[in-house]
């Protein structure tokens, strides 16, 4: 399918008003996306307030997409989202769908896109483009420049994922549990996380699969292979939920094909799009989730050589999972369209 016809302004629909949907509205405004008419759609009609502005939310139906050029589906992680029900109607009405949910990511005819990595795949769309998982996005923004310069052989990643990755209800659960612990009260049985998250870590995101990996861990592997157009890179992951409100962190071990060193890798990362290198060990400067929250960059720190394996390195990667890991990536795709 061809890209959208050229005109200054676009009619945009945002589907979903949870944490990601609200962030999409914020990012559209911040990046001055040329919106003509904006529709906000959800399962129930109501009013919401984002940064002081009131939005009228319309109840979604199959006729909601008439006249819409781009439909941004906020997605519901871990369950069937609105895109399964309504994306076909949006496409038939002439819209291009950018879906943040996980239902279409691995479909052969659906491009899975990170604009800093594979923007050329946007042109291959047939009306629908998928946003990768948040942990995949920040990992590949950091790893793609290294892969391009030196070639990746192996990746081992441990993620430290914030409560916001599980939605607004998970954020509230973390806060309420933390208050209970600090006040010496009993923590109520968790409804969102499955286990207590306050003052704790949970080494399970998604569902356990037959091979004892979780669905979140397999997403990192399969999505990375699809985006990089190769399955030859050996990727393994452990995904952990941590008691952080927002912004994911990842400790990533890599092995490269070509001869390299820390300074070369640091220089490649410094010149790459979307990355901010904060790596001054002597000054104790490195990136934290709380510092990345509210920003669009992917922050890379702790760049160091593995002490025992030739051609192996470690990096520490932090990014706002609601912004670059979801809303901002989707709006960037819309900008390319």
Mean pLDDT of 209-225: 96
Q: What is the reported pTM?
A: 0.94
Q: Is the pLDDT of residue 13 over 80?
A: yes
Q: Is the pLDDT of residue 3 over 80?
A: no
pLDDT band for position 76 (cuts 50, 70, 90): low
**CB of 264 within 8 A of CB of 311?**
no
Q: Which residues contact 188 (CB under 8 A, 6 or more apart)?
A: 176, 177, 180
- Give CA 82 to chain center in angstroms: 18
Q: Is the pLDDT of residue 278 over 70?
A: yes
> For position 131, what pLDDT does the model report?
96
Q: How far apart are CA 157 and CA 316, in angstroms?
A: 10
Q: Is the pLDDT of residue 159 over 70?
A: yes
Q: Transcribe 201-213 into DSSP letters.
A: -BS--S-B-TTS-
> For position 5, what pLDDT does the model report?
57
Mean pLDDT of 177-197: 96
Q: How far apart are CA 204 and CA 167, in angstroms?
A: 16
Q: Transcribe 92-161 into DSSP letters.
A: HTTPEEEE-SSSSTT-TTS-B--TTT-GGGGGG-SSEEEPPPHHHHHHHHHHHHHHHHH-EEEEEEEEEE
Q: Three-state DSSP class for 319?
A: strand
Q: How far apart are CA 142 and CA 155, in angstroms?
A: 12
**CB of 250 within 8 A of CB of 158?**
yes
Q: Which residues contact 7 (CB under 8 A, 6 or more apart)?
A: none
> What is the side-by-side order of every strand in the sheet holding 234-241?
234-241, 152-161, 248-256, 312-319, 298-305, 275-277
Q: What is the dihedral of CA 39, 120, 273, 219, to 10 degrees?
A: 80
134 is catalytic: yes
Q: Is the pLDDT of residue 295 over 80?
A: yes
Tokens coding 159? 């993620």
Q: Three-state DSSP class for 331?
A: helix
248 is catalytic: yes
Consecutive H or E run containing 215: helix 215-228
Q: Is the pLDDT of residue 79 over 50?
A: no
Q: Is the pLDDT of residue 277 over 80?
A: yes
Of the candidates 134, 225, 229, 239, the residue annotated as catalytic is 134
Question: Mind listing the pLDDT tens digit for each residue in 22-68?
Answer: 999 999 999 999 999 999 999 999 999 999 999 999 999 999 999 99
Find the farthest-apart pair of alpha carbons in the chain and give their distance in angstroms, rounded: 60
Query: What structural domains and CATH numbers belong to the chain?
Result: 10-132+326-336 (3.40.50.720), 136-321 (3.30.360.10)
Q: How far apart are CA 214 and CA 203, in angstroms?
A: 9
* Sign of the Cα pseudo-torsion (175, 179, 180, 181, in order): positive
> For position 8, what pLDDT does the model report?
82
Consecutive H or E run containing 227: helix 215-228
Question: What does the mean pLDDT of the chain come to?
Answer: 95
Burial zone of 337 (CB within 10 Å; 0-12 exposed, 13-18 middle, 19+ buried) = middle
> For position 78, what pLDDT does the model report?
36
Of the candidates 125, 147, 239, 248, the residue annotated as catalytic is 248
């Amino acid at each position: 399918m061809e890209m959208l016809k050229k005109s200054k302004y676009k009619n945009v629909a945002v589907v979903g008003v949870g944490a990601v949907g609200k962030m999409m509205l914020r990012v559209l405004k911040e990046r001055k996306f040329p919106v003509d008419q904006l529709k906000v759609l959800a399962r129930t009609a109501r009013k919401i307030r984002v940064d002081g502005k009131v939005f009228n939310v319309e109840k979604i139906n199959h006729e909601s997409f008439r006249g819409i050029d781009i439909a941004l589906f906020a997605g519901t992680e871990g369950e069937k989202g609105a895109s399964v029900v309504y994306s076909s109607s949006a496409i038939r009405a002439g819209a291009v769908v950018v879906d943040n949910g996980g239902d279409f990511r691995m479909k052969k005819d659906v491009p899975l896109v990170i604009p800093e990595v594979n923007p050329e795949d946007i042109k291959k769309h047939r009306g629908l483009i998928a946003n990768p998982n948040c942990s995949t996005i920040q990992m590949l923004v950091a790893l793609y420049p290294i892969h391009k310069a030196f070639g990746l052989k192996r990746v081992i990643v441990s993620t430290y994922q914030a409560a916001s990755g599980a939605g607004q209800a998970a954020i509230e659960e973390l806060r309420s549990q933390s208050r209970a612990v600090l006040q010496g009260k009993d923590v109520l049985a968790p409804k969102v996380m499955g286990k207590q998250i306050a003052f704790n870590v949970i080494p399970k995101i998604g569902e356990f699969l037959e091979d004892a990996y979780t669905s979140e861990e397999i997403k990192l592997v399969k999505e990375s292979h699809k985006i990089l157009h190769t399955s030859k890179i050996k990727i393994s992951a452990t995904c952990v939920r941590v008691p952080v409100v927002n912004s994911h962190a990842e400790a990533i071990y890599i092995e490269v094909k070509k001869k390299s060193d820390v300074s070369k890798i640091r220089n490649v990362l410094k010149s790459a799009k979307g990355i901010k290198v904060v790596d001054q060990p002597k000054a104790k400067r490195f990136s934290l989730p709380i510092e990345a929250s509210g920003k669009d960059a992917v922050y890379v720190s702790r760049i160091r050589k593995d002490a025992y394996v030739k051609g192996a390195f470690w990096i520490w990667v932090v990014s706002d999972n609601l912004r670059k890991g979801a809303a901002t990536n989707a709006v960037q795709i819309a900008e390319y369209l």
